[in-house]
């Protein structure tokens, strides 16, 4: 059975023009005519006197200097504004953000595995690998796997991990004590911060 009859509208509602501020990036500030306050507090070095100005006078000052009036604190009463080159400001902010992203290095964790009865030669071989990883700036997770009845050597495994951490003190620092999880025991070693 068909549903109730709904007539189609004969007119097309006109949408409002989008508010230019609604499409702004959250980091962008109000500039020039986008500032809606009737008066603003002007700050900065390039103005004759800091203080409260009517918006038309603040805009005229910015125009005189061939710069933008930028609202740096909209929530203040009256809003705080500064006269500056806004495009240059945006460029510097993007550059800063890019540098911060590059400096925030990703933490890489390299795992080194051995058994509770690893012989001295293997131990030294794995130690050399761990030193290289720590020099590169990676964290090292040293793990001992206990297979079958070898779980009886848990104490021996703990001693081996502690010795491993002590041998690497020059290159890194243990973040935790050896912890047994199921059939594996591990310790995390973080590289020493470069001076």
Each residue's pLDDT tens digit, 87-113: 888 888 888 888 877 766 567 788 888
Q: How confident is residue 3, by pLDDT bands cut at 50, 70 and 90?
A: low
Q: How confident is residue 26, by pLDDT bands cut at 50, 70 and 90?
A: low
The C-alpha atoms of residue 92 and residue 72 are separated, in whole angstroms, by: 15
Q: How far is CA 141 from CA 132, 138, 172, in A?
A: 13, 10, 11
Distance from the first to the final alpha carbon of the chain: 80
**Entry pTM:** 0.45
* Cα–Cα nearest to 35, from 59, 52, 11: 59
The C-alpha atoms of residue 67 and residue 62 are separated, in whole angstroms, by: 5
pLDDT at 160 exceeding the cut of 50: yes
pLDDT at 14 exceeding the cut of 70: no
- By the 8 A CB rule, do 70 and 106 touch? no
* Cα–Cα nearest to 68, from 37, 14, 31: 31
The mean pLDDT value for 172-195 works out to 81
């Amino acid at each position: 059975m068909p549903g109730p009859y709904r007539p189609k509208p004969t007119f097309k509602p006109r949408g409002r023009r989008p508010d230019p501020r609604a499409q702004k990036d959250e980091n962008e500030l109000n500039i020039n005519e986008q500032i809606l306050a009737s008066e603003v507090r002007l700050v900065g070095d390039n103005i004759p006197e800091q203080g409260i100005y009517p918006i038309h006078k603040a805009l005229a000052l910015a125009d005189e200097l061939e710069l933008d009036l930028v609202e740096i604190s909209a929530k203040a009463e009256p809003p705080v504004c500064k006269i500056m080159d806004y495009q240059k400001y945006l460029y510097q902010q993007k550059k800063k953000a890019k540098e911060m992203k590059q400096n925030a290095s990703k933490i890489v964790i390299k795992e080194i595995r051995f058994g509770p009865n690893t012989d001295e030669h293997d131990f030294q071989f794995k130690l050399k690998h761990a030193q290289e990883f720590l020099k590169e700036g990676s964290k090292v997770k040293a793990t001992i796997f206990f297979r079958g009845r070898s779980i009886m050597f848990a104490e021996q495994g703990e001693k081996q991990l502690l010795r491993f951490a002590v041998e690497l003190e020059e290159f890194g620092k243990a973040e935790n004590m050896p912890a047994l999880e199921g059939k594996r025991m591990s310790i995390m070693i973080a590289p020493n911060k470069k001076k």
